[in-house]
Amino acid sequence: MRLAAEVIMGKKIPEKLLNLPYGEYVGIKAPMFSFMRLDKADFRLGVEMASTGEIGIIGEDFQDALLKALEATEMYIPIDGGNVLISVGGKELKKKVIPIAKKLNHLGFTIFATEDTAQALKSNGIYAVKLYKVHEFGMEPNIISCLQNGAIDLVINVPLPTTIEEKFNIIMEDEYKIRRMAVDYNIPVIINLQLAEAIVDAIKKVRSKKVEIKSLNEYHKTLNEVYW
> pLDDT by residue (tens digit) across 140-198?
888 888 998 999 999 998 876 654 444 456 566 677 788 888 888 889 999 889 999 99
Between 92-106, 115-129, 171-185, 214-228, the lowest mean confidence (pLDDT) is in 171-185
Which of 173, 164, 102 lies closest to 134, judged by CA? 173
Q: Does residue 221 carry a pLDDT above 90?
A: no
**Cα 77 from Cα 30, distance rounded (Å):** 15
State the burial class of residue 203 (Cβ atoms within 10 Å of its Cβ: 0-12, 13-18, 19+).
buried
**Cα 155 from Cα 160, distance rounded (Å):** 15
Which of 99, 31, 96 lies closest to 70, judged by CA? 31
Domains of the chain: 76-207 (3.40.50.1380)
User: How does the average pLDDT of the chain come out, rounded?
Assistant: 84
Q: What is the pTM of this model?
A: 0.79
